[in-house]
Amino acid sequence: MATDSHKPKQKSDCALAPSCDASVIDASLRAPLTVLITSALIWLLVASALSVVAAWQLHTPSFFNNCEYVTYGRIQPAQSSVFIYGWGFNAAFAVSLWLMARLSRGALPGCGVLLLGTVFWNVGVTLGTGGILAGFSTSMASLEMPGFATPLLWVAYALIAAWSFVVFRAGRSQQLFASQWYLFVALLAFPWIYAIAQVMLVFVPVRGTVQSVIQAWFAGNLFLLWFASIALAAIYYFLPKLLQKPVSSYYLASTGFWWLVVFGSWAGIARLIGGPVPAWVQTFGAAASFMLLVPLFIFVLNFLGSFAGNWSSLKNSYPLRFIAFGVFSLLLVLLAWVAGALHGFAAITQFTYFTAAEAQLGYYGFFSMVIFGALYVLVPRVFATAWANDALIGVHFVASAIGVTLVVGSLAVGGINQGLQLADASVAFTAVTTGTLPYLFSASVGCVLIAIGQLAFAINFFWTLANASACCVSSVKQLLSAQPEATR
């Protein structure tokens, strides 16, 4: 692995990215990225609409209460699955493939199988979401889709993820960079954790409390080893590129990587503190969570150290604003994971809306914001045209930033208040429920703002795609019209 100890010194991922072959690499990825990003945005709009409905039903139960297919018990898991497996995976596939090709200096040799895998993946997500709405949910967080969708997702993942290894093998780079470390971990970890969770929870379910251990282990790893790894790969690549300077204290990146992978993979089971599981399981999960302080400290040095003296760059770069928002969200999420391993804190926040706030901060505030920033950089390069409307980028950032802050802040404060009241035997349960309503209404307003931001992003992308298609058609016409003259 290349670190600062190797020459050239202090060159981070983007500094060593190829320039001469970039246009060829981008052109080879144009078709698959068009399908992946389009699929991701369609699922993102669906997830945004479902999240507004689900959030509104929490404080207004009569909203859509006359249709069994859109009750909260079905809408919420459907929204979670669409967001994670529809938006999250399609966007992660697109960004990881582009990053791997650029850093490896390898063009995609073909895209037929990759496109077939993308179709299979989205058909699988459609079947799974339909199954949830029809009442076949597994009722396990992050694994709600029924078992009949799993084989299709498995095949599709193999067909898509394999191409990241193909472009790496076809590349000419002789070094591995921090972004590639995280990409390899994400691509290899998901089949492992998904297979174990599906076999032990869905197809041949284990008995008793082991189910809750496996579920907590899977949910933690799905976030840290898949979503967080993809987003960290994007940060290590795009942050120095946008700031036009190397990553600060880059030599520590390898330490943070190994610490996160080794200990982070077991930190998820700390969510079972106080639950009906053996004490050693809780202690092991708590110890692993405390170990996250090491990568947290290194991320502060790497990312905030890079921003030091360059905060003014945020004024002129929307992609940098998205990534900066994601960096701060990552630090807060890791702090929340460490705090959640404290018995006193967990006794208040468990089984409250605070855990929902933590999930929203991780998936929206961290992963999605970083991916948005990455897409705002790579789309103009892949499609060889600028974004259609800069004002829509501003609307997207402002609406998303305010929306995420409102949702996370409302649920976090409301969750702590809810936990304190639940711990007080003198407070009636109905009073606790009533006391959460203002926080839930505020979170609903935040969901509406987020949906507005996603709509602005989708309009801007499809507008840009139309402009790129028009330019392509115009170029072909010019080429055809010049052909007879050249023949003469």
Block residue for tokens 């199954």:
131
Region for residue 358 given its phi and psi (left: phi exceeds 0; alpha: psi -120 to 50; beta: otherwise): alpha
Q: Which long-range contacts (CB under 8 A, 24 or more apart) does 81-84 make?
A: 81/125, 81/128, 81/129, 81/132, 81/144, 81/145, 82/43, 82/46, 82/47, 82/50, 82/125, 82/129, 83/43, 83/44, 83/47, 83/51, 83/363, 84/142, 84/222, 84/363
HSE-CB at 211 with a 13 A cutoff on CA atoms is 14
pLDDT of residue 9: 42
Report whether the peptide linkage leading into residue 18 is cis, meaning its omega lies within 30 degrees of zero: no
What's this model's pTM, rounded to 2 decimal places? 0.91
Structural contact between residues 344 and 404, judged by C-beta atoms closer than 8 angstroms: no
Cβ neighbours of residue 415 closer than 8 Å, sequence gap 6 or more: 349, 352, 353, 354, 355, 356, 357, 439
- Alpha helix stretches (DSSP H) within 341-389: 343-349, 353-360, 369-383
pLDDT of residue 1: 41
pLDDT of residue 320: 96
The amino acid present at 420, given as its one-letter code, is L
pLDDT of residue 19: 46
Beta carbons within 10 angstroms of residue 327's beta carbon: 25
Structural contact between residues 131 and 96, judged by C-beta atoms closer than 8 angstroms: no
- Alpha helix stretches (DSSP H) within 304-352: 305-307, 318-340, 343-349
pLDDT of residue 7: 38
**What is the mean pLDDT for each group of 10 consecutive residues in the chain (488 residues)?**
39 47 87 94 95 89 79 91 96 95 86 90 95 91 90 93 86 83 94 93 88 92 95 96 93 94 90 86 92 95 93 92 96 94 89 92 96 96 93 96 96 94 90 92 94 96 90 66 54
- Can you tell me the distance from the alpha carbon of 10 to that of 22, in angstroms, rounded to the nearest whole number? 22
Cβ neighbours of residue 164 closer than 8 Å, sequence gap 6 or more: 96, 97, 100, 183, 187
Of residues 27, 195, 28, 32, the one with CA closest to residue 119: 32
Structural contact between residues 449 and 403, judged by C-beta atoms closer than 8 angstroms: yes
Structural contact between residues 442 and 406, judged by C-beta atoms closer than 8 angstroms: yes
pLDDT of residue 160: 92
Structural contact between residues 181 and 115, judged by C-beta atoms closer than 8 angstroms: no
- Can you tell me the distance from the alpha carbon of 127 to that of 148, in angstroms, rounded to the nearest whole number? 8
